[in-house]
Amino acid sequence: MGALDGILVISLEQAVAAPYCSGRLADAGARVIKIERPEGDFARGYDRAAKGLASYFVWLNRGKESLVLDIKRDDDRALLRRILARADVFIQNLAPGAAARAGFDIGALRREHPRLITCSISGYGEAGPYAEMKAYDLLVQAETGLAMVTGRPEGPGRVGVSVCDIAAGMYAQQAILEALIRRGRTGEGADIKVSLFDGMADWMAVPLLQHDYGGAAPARVGLAIPRSPPTARSPRKAAS
């Protein structure tokens, strides 16, 4: 038995961040039902490296059940509502406002199901001037400053995996676990909101502190730590 045995997680998900979160909950023993649109999670088409399947999709979606629903259809929406009535956790990473427009307003769900834990994952948050912007891992790496402390000394570079998505998924999982502990004490669910930008901004706390209090921007690829220059060595004398 895993720590989350008996917990039902419904995840209306795609790409990386939400599947990472729900996948780790599945690893801990939760029953995770992945809701996919009729055309499927677009991460299925990232590549065909894993014996014809996408490497990210294989990594992030093991141990889940999959259900295809078109939430624009009345019957599929009704089915999802019936499932959510039994769920412990509902995760979604649709574009901000899309879940509400489809009839799954988070506030309404929380009022209807007070024990439900909801988790919405977005690029830049649910509101504000950046909420509607497209969020790609490369953009968030650049906008949070991660690219400026990565790459080569002569120029910035992208980290080779989707660290902004993964960070958001990690923070979402952590918050859900905390909410489950709290619900066990109070009986109340929670409304969790996580963004890719928020997660990576937290990771960038050390470079920010170095910039604000150290008097200079941190160098790239670990060069913020001073290193002694190489010294020439005299050739060894031949043994007499």
Look up residue 15 and give its DSSP letter: S
In DSSP terms, 31 is beta-bridged to: 8
In 3-state terms the chain splits into helix, strand, coil percentages (rounded to 5) of 40, 15, 45
Catalytic, 212? Answer no
Partnered with residue 89 across adjacent β-strands are: 9, 117
The single residue of 41, 88, 137, 165 carrying the catalytic annotation is: 165
Instruction: List the one residue out of 67, 63, 129 whose CA is nearest residue 96.
Output: 129
d(CA 115, CA 147): 40
Give bridge partners of residue 9 from the DSSP assignment: 32, 89
Give residue 169's region: left, alpha or beta (phi > 0; psi -120 to 50).
alpha
Q: How many CA atoms lie within 13 A of 205 on its CB side?
A: 4
Residue 81 Rama label (left phi>0; alpha psi -120 to 50; beta) = alpha
Enumerate the active-site residues.
165
